[in-house]
Structure 1
């Protein structure tokens, strides 16, 4: 019974990894077709999107922990 969550997590990681690979590949091919687009601009935009994702992830983690503390949940390990 404990193997079900593990298999779901593995499946989720696999699906998201394949999706991210295909998205990056699609954007790369699209950038190669469009000669007006510079490689540096694509790299800079990718870095900005990645930084925004990491920042929003940390913000969501912080807000979740604050909400749990305010609700009185014990979060000590």
Structure 2
């Protein structure tokens, strides 16, 4: 039974790496078709959306944890 988490985690990491490779390759190929400027603009939009979502999740987590009375001090 000790090998099951190792096998599943290895499979998950491998599957995610393969999926990321093909997603990046597909995006790169599509960017070459549309032009470099359009690809850079789309990449910037995705990066900004990710940062905004990350900050929003952080604030929501902080708000919920303070409402639940969790001690957030170091």
On whether the aligned pair clears a TM of 0.5, the verdict is yes
> Is 1:76 the counterpart of 2:73 in the alignment?
yes
Deviation of 1:31 after TM superposition, in Å, equals 2.9
Provide the aligned C-alpha RMSD in A.
2.6
Deviation of 1:56 after TM superposition, in Å, equals 0.4
TM-score normalised to structure 1 length: 0.66
Alpha-carbon deviations, 1:35-76, whole Å to 9, x = none? xx1211111111111110111011101111111001111111
Give the structure with the higher percent helix: 2
Q: Distance in 2 between matches of 1:28 and 1:48?
A: 15
> Is 1:47 the counterpart of 2:48 in the alignment?
no
**Structure 1 pair 75–55 and aligned structure 2 pair: CA distance change class (3 A):** same
Q: Distance in 2 between matches of 1:15 and 1:62?
A: 31
Deviation of 1:11 after TM superposition, in Å, equals 7.8
> Is 1:64 the counterpart of 2:57 in the alignment?
no
TM-score normalised to structure 2 length: 0.68
Deviation of 1:19 after TM superposition, in Å, equals 3.3
State the 4+ residue runs in structure 1 displaced beyond 2 angstroms. Answer: 10-22
Structure 2 unaligned spans of 5+: none
